[in-house]
Structure 1
Amino acid sequence: MNKKVSKLVAYLMRKYKTNDPGVLADYLNVTIIRMPLEDMVAGFYKMIKRRKYIFLNTDIDDESFMRVVSAHELGHAIMHPKENCAFLKSHTLFLTSKLEVEANTFAAYLLISDQDINEYMVERQYTTDMMSRLLGYRKELIDFV
């Protein structure tokens, strides 16, 4: 599964020359709406009348976490377009359902570059905790690459 997802992400980044989830969403006609959501919900993806939407919680003030949520939901929009999926603030990175694992893997490959992995984890042998602090993402996300 990781190879399939990594190839998809590599293709999208090559084609659109970006790894920014918001920019990719624009290219792919996925509308992002920021609005207040329930406290535990960071964001969710939903298809409405054959149009794709990502809803992001305006209460999230951590920019790196917001990028993860955006990338995760974009993964759902691309790989699971007919499924409605929510990103819970505290639990989604721990879920083991196939859809959530794929969306987390998509987010990890989109946000964490091969260059970072090679330089820090392979050459310098940084731990996942060290990479987490360096990149500003939760270590659970880094485990997906």
Structure 2
Amino acid sequence: MMTTIKEMAASLVERYATNDPKQLCQYLNIEVLNVELPMNVKGFYSYLFGMQFIYLNCALTLEEQRVVCAHELGHALLHSRQNSLFLLKNTDFVSNRFEREADIFSGYLLLDKDTIRESRYYNWTVQQLAAYTGLSDKIVEYCCKN
């Protein structure tokens, strides 16, 4: 599955010539809404009446919105018919797998070839690359190894 996620991210970047998650959402007809959310909610994905929505907390910085949007785009593509709020509220279904897959998708999407090449040229640590991209250390390490 992880190879498929990597290939999916690479295919999107190649097809649309961008790794910007908001632009990709436009191309894919996924509505991105900046809304007021509780501080502990950075964003979420929702599938309603055949339409896909990504809600981003408007209090986030642009860089944080980029990372959260990439993560939620992962949900939209990998778990398109799942409504995370419904699952969380109404089932005992554990969504850790879905969250991990969306994290990995965001890593492969945002860690483009130029960024990785530059990080190797300057011999950046995982922490430096994570700070540069806004991704977690764990995701950067995983995506750079695989």
TM-score range, shorter chain: 0.7 to 0.9
Q: Is the 8 A contact 2:46 2:83 kept in 1?
A: yes
Q: Is the 8 A contact 1:104 1:144 kept in 2?
A: no
Partner of 2:72: 73
Q: For the residues of structure 2 that align with 1:18 and 1:140, how far apart are their CA atoms? A: 24
| Alpha-carbon displacement from aligned partner over 1:24-72 (angstroms, at most 9, x marks no partner) | 0011110011110112100000001010000111111x22211110000
1:15 deviation in Å?
Answer: 0.9
1:131 deviation in Å?
Answer: 1.5
Partner of 2:10: 10
Partner of 1:114: 113
Unaligned runs of 5+ in 1: 87-95
Q: For the residues of structure 1 that align with 2:113 and 2:142, how far apart are their CA atoms? A: 13
Partner of 1:47: 47
| Alpha-carbon displacement from aligned partner over 1:97-138 (angstroms, at most 9, x marks no partner) | 2111110111111111123224424x5543211222344443
- The number of equivalent residue pairs is 135
Identity %: 32
Q: Is the 8 A contact 1:80 1:99 kept in 2?
A: yes
TM (norm. structure 1) is 0.82
Q: Is the 8 A contact 2:107 2:135 kept in 1?
A: no
1 or 2, which has the higher strand percentage? 1
| Alpha-carbon displacement from aligned partner over 1:75-107 (angstroms, at most 9, x marks no partner) | 100110111237xxxxxxxxx821111101111
Q: For the residues of structure 1 that align with 2:130 and 2:50, how far apart are their CA atoms? A: 37
User: SS of the counterpart of 1:39?
Assistant: coil
Q: Is the 8 A contact 2:21 2:66 kept in 1?
A: yes
Unaligned runs of 5+ in 2: 86-94
Q: For the residues of structure 1 that align with 2:140 and 2:62, how far apart are their CA atoms? A: 17
TM (norm. structure 2) is 0.82
Q: For the residues of structure 1 that align with 2:2 and 2:28, how far apart are their CA atoms? A: 22
The amino acid of 1:99's aligned partner reads F
